[in-house]
Structures are given as structure tokens and as C-alpha cells.
């Protein structure tokens, strides 16, 4: 395989895969064309990583002394280690992201239960409220939400704003306020509890 073909095929592999996925989706279901072109855009940074690996492999191939067989073996080891490092990094990132999503989901359920059992909420809507998440706002201190906004349906519909304190490493919920205004009815840059 020539250097140019190696760069074009392997270095741009994420782009080729994204284009093939978009083409396959276009043939199968045209409604997915709204989402799939973003794959091509996401492939560009991935190509930067794969191109870096290709150029490092080519530099090693050029720099190694010895016959072509030795150069190929050393380059193959460098390439394999690079692919393994990229794969491990991607898997760790995906695992960390999945763990965060699971933590947020679990905490959202805990916050929902907190709202459903809160005395002030029950006085406002009755004893069997249906609580649904309207939105959550990520905390400035980390990736977990710092504020939840729930719609609470009972004898009437209200919206419960719940804040989270993690000072001791454990989520502690407090009801900031109850408002009759939904997200769409509130002023965007004004505190929901002040409206």
C-alpha cells in the first residue's frame, strides 16, 4: 500500500465510515437524513486523530533503520499500539458517559420521589400527584444537575423547582418553590421562583 493510499484510506477512515452510514440511511429511511449528516461533521475531529496516528506510523517507518521487513514490523507495532490506545480511550469515555447518565437518571428518580412526597406539594395538588421532569440544569460545580424542574399534576397542575446540595458528597434536595407557570410561560432570564 502506498503512502498516499494509506493516508487516504486509513487516515480518513472515520469520514468514509460516516459517508457510508449516511448513504445507507438515505436508501433505507429518508426521515433519518435529519440526523445522519451530523455524522460527517463528527467524523472530522475523529479524522484528526486517525491522521495523526497515520503520520506517526509513517514517520516511524521512515526513521527505522534496517530492511523493509523490519520497518514494516516496527511500524505495525506502533500502529497497533496507537489503535489500542484510541480504542481504550474511547471505551473509557463511553463508560464514563454511561455512568454519568445512570447517575443522573437515578438522581432524577430520587428528586421526583422527593417532590411527590413533599408536604407542600401535596397540599397544593392533592395526595396522589403525578410528577414528570420538565427540565434540569447542570450544576456549575460539576456534570450533575444542580436544579430540577418538575411538572406536578393532581387536582391542579403546578411546577416544582428543586435544588440539589452535594456538599457532603450526597445529594440533598430542597424545594425552592412551587409555581403555576410552566417553562414556556416564564421569563427566560428571571428566577422561576421570583415570577
Backbone angles phi and psi of 64, in degrees to 5: -75, 135
SS3 content of the chain, % helix, strand, coil (to 5): 60, 20, 20
Give the Cβ contact number of residue 85 at 10 Å.
11
Each residue's pLDDT tens digit, 164-178: 998 888 889 999 999
> Who's near 117: CB < 8 A, 6+ residues apart?
none
123, HSE (Cβ side, Cα atoms, 13 Å) = 4
Whole-number Å distance between alpha carbons of 192 and 195: 6
Asked if residue 33 has pLDDT above 70, the reply is: no
Each residue's pLDDT tens digit, 66-101: 898 999 999 999 999 999 999 999 899 999 999 999
Asked if residue 123 has pLDDT above 80, the reply is: yes
Q: Are 112 and 150 in contact (CB under 8 A)?
A: yes
Each residue's pLDDT tens digit, 101-116: 999 999 999 999 999 9
**pTM of the complete model:** 0.70
Q: Are 185 and 169 in contact (CB under 8 A)?
A: no
State the chain's mean pLDDT as an integer: 89
Whole-number Å distance between alpha carbons of 57 and 47: 15
Amino acid at each position: 500500500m502506498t503512502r498516499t493510499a494509506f493516508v487516504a484510506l486509513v487516515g480518513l477512515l472515520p469520514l468514509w465510515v460516516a459517508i457510508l452510514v449516511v448513504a445507507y440511511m438515505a436508501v433505507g429511511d429518508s426521515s433519518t437524513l435529519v440526523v445522519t449528516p451530523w455524522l460527517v461533521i463528527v467524523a472530522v475531529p475523529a479524522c484528526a486523530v486517525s491522521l495523526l496516528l497515520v503520520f506517526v506510523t509513517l514517520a516511524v517507518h521512515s526513521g527505522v533503520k534496517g530492511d523493509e521487513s523490519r520497518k514494516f514490523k516496527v511500524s505495525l507495532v506502533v500502529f497497533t499500539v496507537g489503535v489500542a490506545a484510541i480504542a481504550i480511550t474511547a471505551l473509557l469515555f463511553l463508560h464514563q458517559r454511561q455512568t454519568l447518565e445512570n447517575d443522573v437518571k437515578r438522581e432524577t428518580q430520587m428528586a421526583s420521589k422527593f417532590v411527590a412526597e413533599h408536604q407542600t406539594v401535596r397540599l397544593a395538588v392533592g395526595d396522589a400527584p403525578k410528577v414528570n421532569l420538565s427540565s434540569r440544569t447542570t450544576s456549575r460545580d460539576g456534570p450533575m444537575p444542580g436544579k430540577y424542574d418538575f411538572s406536578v399534576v393532581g387536582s391542579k397542575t403546578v411546577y416544582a423547582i428543586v435544588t440539589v446540595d452535594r456538599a457532603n458528597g450526597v445529594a440533598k434536595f430542597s424545594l425552592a418553590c412551587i409555581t403555576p407557570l410552566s417553562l414556556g410561560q416564564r421569563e427566560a432570564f428571571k428566577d422561576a421562583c421570583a415570577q
